[in-house]
């Protein structure tokens, strides 16, 4: 792997963002030297709710991001921290070069999220222009795994995809609701108008609809993975 500027949050840095909320949209980057961005008006956006924290029932949830179009090489990185600000997982990601929304599913090789604990994720994007000071587009946010009742689990298992979306929405499970709807958009071409309308409404609910790409691209895949034991990460 080529030498690149570190994209993960430095937990010893004085400029580490404290508490909630995070930063859902990165700042713009305007540089004339070695940029891989095709359009400087596009940026990196977390597809997350207005609330400071997104909720999931999954031990390994799926995260969604809107990425800019890229004409050159780039490095994309995802890192996860626990409430004690200990790095518990980090990976570089193989991502599409399109201006599109794509998901990253936390792999089973990563630590499982514990119920009722908050986790700070950091998603970073940099052009590979050969410089150790390459501009980095970084965003971050918070996710909490919640416990759901056996009754709700049974309802979800018995429901079809559209019914599951409503169950997830009612339960406040953002990650599951978004993932289910995106999967419907990908698989149900004959109903694309219907699901496009639902998708648009969900994006508008984030308050960032003007910055989120409409197109969906293929899933992002972990290119390399490092999981940490919190007790040994100091």
The span from the CA of 173 to the CA of 166, in Å, is: 10
Give residue 197's pLDDT band: very low, low, confident or very high (50, 70, 90).
Answer: confident
Report whether pLDDT(207) > 70: yes
Report whether pLDDT(192) > 80: no
DSSP category for residue 159: S
pLDDT at 225: 57
Q: What's the pLDDT tens digit per position in 141-181?
A: 999 999 999 999 999 999 998 899 999 999 999 999 999 99
Domains annotated for the chain, with CATH where assigned, are: 45-147+208-223 (2.60.40.2550)
pLDDT at 25: 83
Report whether pLDDT(116) > 80: yes
The span from the CA of 182 to the CA of 39, in Å, is: 25
Report whether pLDDT(189) > 90: no
Q: What's the pLDDT tens digit per position in 42-89?
A: 889 999 998 889 999 999 999 999 999 988 888 899 999 999 999 999
* Number of residues that make up the chain: 234
Q: What's the pLDDT tens digit per position in 13-48?
A: 333 333 445 688 876 555 444 577 788 778 899 999
pLDDT at 17: 37
Q: Compute the C-alpha angle 64/46/21, nearest 5°.
A: 125
Report whether pLDDT(125) > 90: no
pLDDT at 40: 75
Q: What Rg, from alpha-carbon coordinates, does the chain have?
A: 18
The whole-model pTM stands at 0.84
pLDDT at 65: 96
What's the burial of 25, exposed, middle or buried (CB within 10 Å: 0-12/13-18/19+)? Answer: middle
């Amino acid at each position: 792997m080529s030498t690149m500027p570190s994209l993960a949050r430095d937990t010893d840095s004085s400029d580490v963002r404290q508490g909630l909320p995070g930063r859902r949209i990165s700042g713009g980057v305007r540089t004339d030297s070695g940029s891989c961005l095709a359009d400087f008006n596009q940026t990196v956006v977390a597809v997350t709710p207005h609330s400071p924290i997104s909720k999931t029932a999954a031990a390994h949830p799926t995260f969604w991001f809107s990425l800019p179009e890229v004409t050159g090489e780039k490095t994309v990185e995802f890192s996860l921290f626990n409430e004690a600000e200990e790095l518990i997982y980090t990976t570089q990601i193989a991502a599409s070069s399109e201006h599109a929304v794509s998901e990253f599913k936390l792999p089973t090789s990563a630590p499982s999220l514990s119920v009722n604990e908050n986790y700070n994720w950091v998603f970073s994007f940099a052009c590979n222009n050969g410089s150790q000071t390459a501009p980095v587009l970084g965003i971050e946010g918070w996710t909490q795994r919640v416990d759901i009742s056996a009754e709700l689990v049974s309802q979800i298992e018995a429901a079809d995809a559209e019914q599951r979306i409503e169950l997830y929405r009612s339960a406040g499970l953002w990650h599951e609701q978004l993932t289910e709807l995106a999967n419907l958009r990908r698989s149900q071409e004959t109903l694309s108008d219907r699901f496009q309308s639902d998708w648009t409404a969900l994006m508008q609910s984030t308050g960032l609809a003007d910055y989120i790409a409409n197109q969906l691209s293929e899933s992002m895949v972990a290119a390399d993975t490092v999981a940490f034991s919190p007790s040994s990460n100091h």
